[in-house]
Amino acid sequence: MPKPQYSQKFRDSWLQDPDLKEWLQAVESTAGQVAKCKFCGTILRSHYGDLKTHALSKNANKIESIYLFWTQLKSKEDFDKGRLNFSAIGARYGYPVEESDVVTEDGYILKIFHIAGNKRRPVLLLNVFVYSADTFIIRGNKSLDITLTNNGYDVWALNARGTR
């Protein structure tokens, strides 16, 4: 006779786990409480290892960043009308941003953004294939700009021609 598959019960302590608490929800099912990702809606087997794997998955992280950004906006109209740029997003997450214009030899005006840090550790982020420099800060505290700033870098982000 085959051995029945082990099924771990959902534990409330998982809701306090720093790697899980931002996205994990307990939902009722016919089998009792099960785990659900509040970002992508995936119902997961209640095994701690499966939950950790989902937390690290690219799909879950991508959906989480979009979710977190939209929940932090005052309204969708702010974003649609272009009211939130790099500086506004930085301010929303508590990081003052300096804006400057750089004029090229042929008269084109480029926008550069600066989050001050250690002047001896400068980093320049240049968007080439993405929407604008906003892409580097849109994930808030998990964004590349803020992560670099928190690790002591002096961060500069430059918009390429044809972006915001």
Digits of tens for pLDDT over the chain (164 positions)? 555 555 567 778 888 887 777 777 888 876 677 788 776 677 776 677 777 777 777 566 656 665 555 555 555 555 544 567 788 888 878 888 999 988 889 888 888 999 998 889 999 998 766 678 888 887 778 888 889 999 999 999 988 776 65
Q: Please tell me the predicted confidence (pLDDT) of residue 36.
A: 80
- Give the model's pLDDT for residue 93: 82
**Among candidate residues 146, 110, 105, the one with its CA nearest the CA of residue 128:** 110
**Helix pair angle (48-56, 58-72), 10° resolution:** 70
pLDDT value of position 129: 63
> How much is the pTM?
0.51
Sheet containing 109-115: order of strands: 98-103, 109-115, 153-158, 118-126
State residue 70's pLDDT score.
Answer: 55
pLDDT for the residue numbered 81: 43
How far is Cα 61 from Cα 78, in angstroms, rounded to an integer? Answer: 24
How many whole angstroms from its chain centre is CA 132? 16
